Structure formats: C-alpha cells, structure tokens
Amino acid sequence: MFNFNMLKTFLLNLWESFVGIPLVLCFLLYLCDLLSLLLRMLPLRFQRQVVVELEHARRYLKKFQRKLPPGPMGIPVLGHLPFIDSASPHLTLRKWSKDYGPIYRIQLGKVPVVVLSDPQLITMAFNNDNVTGKPPLYVTTGIMECCGIISVDGELWRSQRNMIIRSLDSFASRQHLVEDVGVNKLDVLLMEQVTRLLTQFDATNGHVFDVHGPVRFSVSNMMAKILFGRSYEDNDHVFNRQLDLCDKGASLVQLTNFINYFPFLRYLPDFGRPYSLLRELKTEHHEYLNDILSDRVRRSNGDSLIDLYIAEIRKDGADVHDKETGKQMSHVLADLFGGSTDTIKQTVKWALLHFMTRNDVQDKIHDELDKIVGSKRRPDFHDMGKLVYTRACIMEAQRLASVAPIGMPHWTLADMTLGGHYVAKDTMVIALQYAVHMNPNYWETPNLFIPERFLNEDKTELLKQSHFMPYSIGKRQCPGMDLADRCLYIILANILHRYNLLPPRENIEPSYRPLPGFTLSPRHYMLRAVLR
C-alpha cells in the first residue's frame, strides 16, 4: 500500500538538495496529499511499484546529498541572490566560507555555484580542463557577444589565448637597441610614460592633490602606447572620454546583477536602465576601438601589441577585413585594454594609499633605493632583481587590495569530484581570492601591511607564496601578469625614489573601504608628494 510519509520524506530531501531548508513546507504537504490521493486510486500492484521506485530514488538521493558540498539556506527561484551584499559580494562569500568551509555551494537564480577559498582546491580546479568554461551570465559575459578572450571558452578561447601569449612574448622580448646601450625598447616606452606621471606629481609642488586623475591617465596612456601604438596628451578629450566609459562600465558589471540570471528583467525600468546604459557605453567604446583597428590593419609596423596580434590572426589564415573577425579583434582589444588598465591603476592607487600612512615602510624603501640606485639616476629594470623590499611592498599592496576579490568565475564542462565533493557539469566555480589573501591561517595578522611576509629570514630574497594569487591561477590565469608586474614596479619604484608621500593632514586616517564594482577601487583620496 502506498506510504504517504515515504513520499513526503522523498520530496523534502529533494528540496533540501537543491534549495536548502524548505521554506514552502505547506506547499509540499499539499502536494503530498494530492499525489497520495491520486496514487491510491491506482491498482494495488502499481502502488507497490511506486513504493519500490521511491525507495530506490530516496537511497540515490541520500548518496547524492552526502557528496554535495555544504552550503547556506536559499529560497526558491532566487536562491541566495537576496542574501548577498551587492556592493561587496566578496564579504558575504567570505563569511559563508568561514561558516561552511573552503568549498561550499550556493544557488544564484537557476545557476549552481561552488565557491572555493582554499589555494590548493583553487589550483586543483583551475588547472583542470573541465573547469575552463565561462558561465553564461547574461550581462557579465553575454554583453561581450561570445567574443574576446575573457568571456569565451572552448576552441575560440584556446586559439585566442595562444595568439595573445605569442604576441605578448614577442612584444616583451624585442631587443631593439636604443643608442647602442642595450636597452629594451619596451623598457624605454614604460620609462617615458612614468616620466610624464612624475611631471604631473612635480606640478603639485608638494600641495594636496587627488591622485586618481594622474594615475588613471598615466597608466591608461601607458597601456594605450603598448596596445595601440599611440599615446595622448593630458587634455585629449576623446581619450579621457574613453577612460570615463571604462570606469562607468566597470562599476555596472556585477556578479549579483539580477539580469544575469533573469534576463527578462531588462524590460523593467529599474533593472533595465543600468543594462541599457552599459550597452550604450560598450557601443561608444567599440566605435573608438574599431577606428584604431582599422588604422592598424592598414599600416601595422610591429610597434604595438595589436600589430603583433593582427599578424597572428593573418598567420591563422583569417581575413582581418572580415566583419566577424573584426568583431572578435575589437573585443580582444577591449578586454586587454580594460583588464590591464583597471588592474594596474587600482593597485597603484591602493599602494600609494598604504604608503602615505606608513612612514616606517617608506623609510625602508628609501634606504633600499638610495643604496641600490642612488640619487644620480632613476630606478630601471636592471634594478628590479635587487630591490626586493620595494617589490615585497608592492606584493603586500596587491594582497591587501585583492583588486579582483572573486576573480573571474569559471564554468564546469563535465561532472567532477573536487575536495571529496561532487560538482556537476554546468556549475559556476568562484575562486574567492579575497578570502585566501585575508586568511589568518596563511597570513599572520592579515589586516596589517607587513611586506616582510614576502621576504626570507635575512631579507635578501622574495618568497614564492602558493596562497598569493593576484592574477588568479591555472589555465585561465592572466596572460599579461609579467607585463603588469613590470608596470607596477617601474611606476611605484620611481614615485618612491623621488617623493615622500604624506597624508593631506596629520592624524587623518583615510578610508580603506572600496567602491563597489567588479574590481575593488579605493575611494578618491588626497595626498602630498614632497620631493626628497
């Protein structure tokens, strides 16, 4: 005879497996009553068969439940979206990692998510070919129209990544001699842009100024010279407009954007306006990039990264004049310019913010610079291997900033086991870099700025830390991380060689609370750069 309790238990277990503790118990009980009534109308032999099948299903479900990662309670349809702080999702996710461990599961709309906060698990997952996909989020990845490098996967991602890496290697290794002194042309390019930044700092005459503008322009101009083969004047209206577009667009891209999971919401005004604005910003920015591409396709000479990328496209047999190829190229250019500029400028701003409040750290950097470089010249790339304390300070700024606190979400392409837990195909995987970088099990007093944690005992060598991952890790690790490190070093070493950085007034503690966005940016702050 059919057992009502068996059906009720099965449905409750099923609900808990995918949503959490049942919040619609009344609905389930009503459903049980209805099904029980219908089944009792069947012949006895059919009722017995249903009981057998339910028991098999219950046993399978229990086995399945034991393998799933733990996780917090969600609600139907929305999952955990309402419980995540949209301005600081990394803080909510970190709290859950403390409650549920280094691997746990949540649900964002209909998208299952596994969150990792253990460096070994992250390394294991992100080096797995089955975790190289990109989640089909309507805004975060969908707005890129399955183009570029950040928002694609499969063979397109593989081929484009290889082209970009070859282009970067070729660009960075060019050894054209400048005035027969054996200086790498890339190093000269970077030093020229740093000189322009120092000129802007000099113009403040030690007075209080907002560091955001000069850093944003100089870093973006540096990347424009590398990528586009062109640089701009400070008052260039078109270029500054593009920087505004990128900043605004970055602030609108949020993992917790409801349209990512419920695209129909874009037709509602409150949800649709930011989405429409994001599309408008993208259209205008890509018009600018398409003009640059058209120019470089006509007269590329190998002096920019995009020239080398165009050469790789041609080697691959693609027609650079084809509409679809051009669309892919413009999205790659947008990804490279936006990603590199945002990461470097935010890290520089965070580093300067920490330095200006730590005279003791600045004194040690100045001592090292004076000993290795002296006052007759500026730090260059030949000094990079010797300035270990300066570089340790940059790394500590990267750790504390965690500019990309949740990294770039990945997508599973097959069922797999991770950390003893079952992770299904079509699951979003988040590496919670912020939690790794702020974990007291890996970093003693993680909230404090302590560069020595990256140095060996006698302070002569940098330590490699497996739990330090500012550029993510694995098969989708940032391909331009070496270039980013060089840019960060040359900018910050030259600033600190020339200036004492001071807060606008004594005894004023600046805010370390970041602005909301996909990447973490410090709020606008003022400082003084006083010549040493």
| CA atoms of 253 and 250, how far apart (whole Å) | 5
Out of 65, 84, 112, a domain closes at 65
Residue 176 located in a structural domain: yes
Residue 140 located in a structural domain: no
Q: Quote the domain boundaries for residue 317.
A: 154-531
CA dihedral for 177, 178, 180, 181, sign (positive or negative): negative
Residue 84 located in a structural domain: no
Q: Which two tokens stand for residue 334?
A: 């947008």
Same domain, 167 and 53: no
Same domain, 211 and 344: yes
478 carries a ligand binding annotation: yes
Contacts of 7-16 with C-beta under 8 Å, sequence gap 24+, read: 7/32, 7/35, 7/36, 7/54, 8/32, 9/58, 10/54, 10/57, 10/58, 10/61, 13/58, 13/61, 13/62, 13/65, 14/61, 16/65
Residue 250 has phi, psi (to 5 degrees) of -65, -35
Reference 517, options 428, 401, 390; nearest CA is 401
Residue 115 located in a structural domain: no
115's CB contacts (< 8 A; 6+ apart) are 93, 96, 97, 103, 104, 105, 106, 430, 432
What was the pLDDT predicted at 172? 76
Reference 394, options 377, 374, 376, 379; nearest CA is 379
Pinpoint the alpha helices (H) of 82-184.
Answer: 89-100, 119-126, 154-173
User: Under DSSP, is residue 30 helix (H, G, I), strand (E, B) or coil?
Assistant: helix
What was the pLDDT predicted at 22? 43
H or E segment and range at residue 501: strand 499-502
How many beta carbons lie within 10 A of that of residue 376, not counting itself? 5
Rg over CA atoms, the chain: 27
Is residue 108 within 8 Å of 428, Cβ to Cβ? yes
Reference 79, options 23, 133, 141; nearest CA is 23
CA dihedral for 173, 340, 381, 449, sign (positive or negative): negative
Report CA-CA distances (Å) from 184 to 190, 289, 340, 344, 438: 10, 27, 21, 21, 37
Residue 86 located in a structural domain: no
What was the pLDDT predicted at 29? 53
Residue 83 located in a structural domain: no
In b/e form, how buried is each residue of 80-93, taking b as 16+ CB within 10 angstroms? bbeebeeebbbebb
| CA atoms of 334 and 332, how far apart (whole Å) | 5
Same domain, 366 and 509: yes
User: Under DSSP, is residue 182 helix (H, G, I), strand (E, B) or coil?
Assistant: coil
| CA atoms of 378 and 498, how far apart (whole Å) | 8
pTM for this structure? 0.87
**Could you please report the per-residue DSSP string of 304-339?**
SHHHHHHHHHHHTT--TTSHHHHHHHHHHHHHHHHH
* Residue-level pLDDT, tens digit, the chain, 532 residues: 445 455 555 555 555 444 444 444 455 555 565 566 666 676 776 666 666 666 656 655 555 555 889 999 999 899 999 999 988 999 999 999 999 999 999 999 999 999 999 999 999 999 999 999 999 999 877 788 889 999 999 999 999 999 999 998 888 776 454 554 556 778 888 999 999 999 999 999 999 999 999 999 999 999 999 999 899 999 999 999 999 999 999 888 888 999 999 999 999 988 889 899 999 999 999 999 999 999 999 887 778 899 999 999 999 888 988 999 999 999 999 999 999 999 999 999 999 999 999 999 999 999 999 999 999 999 998 999 999 999 999 999 999 999 999 999 999 999 999 999 999 999 999 999 999 999 999 999 999 999 999 999 999 999 989 999 999 999 999 999 999 999 999 999 999 999 999 999 877 778 888 888 788 999 989 999 999 9
| CA atoms of 24 and 41, how far apart (whole Å) | 27
| CA atoms of 350 and 358, how far apart (whole Å) | 13
How many beta carbons lie within 10 A of that of residue 143, not counting itself? 18
Is residue 488 within 8 Å of 344, Cβ to Cβ? yes
H or E segment and range at residue 54: helix 44-67
Residue 172 has phi, psi (to 5 degrees) of -75, -25
Out of 20, 48, 65, a domain closes at 65
Is residue 247 within 8 Å of 511, Cβ to Cβ? no
Same domain, 26 and 175: no
Q: Which two tokens stand for residue 395?
A: 């790394």
Residue 411 has phi, psi (to 5 degrees) of -140, 130
Residue 141 located in a structural domain: no
Out of 65, 95, 110, a domain closes at 65
Is residue 366 within 8 Å of 496, Cβ to Cβ? yes
Q: Under the phi-then-psi rule, with left for phi > 0, alpha for psi from -120 to 50, and beta for the rest, what region is 374?
A: left
Same domain, 170 and 53: no
What was the pLDDT predicted at 31? 58
Residue 243 located in a structural domain: yes
273's CB contacts (< 8 A; 6+ apart) are none
Reference 143, options 518, 520, 521; nearest CA is 518
What was the pLDDT predicted at 99? 96
Number of domains forming the structure of the chain = 2
> Residue 457's domain is classified under what CATH number?
1.10.630.10
* Tally of residues, the chain: 532
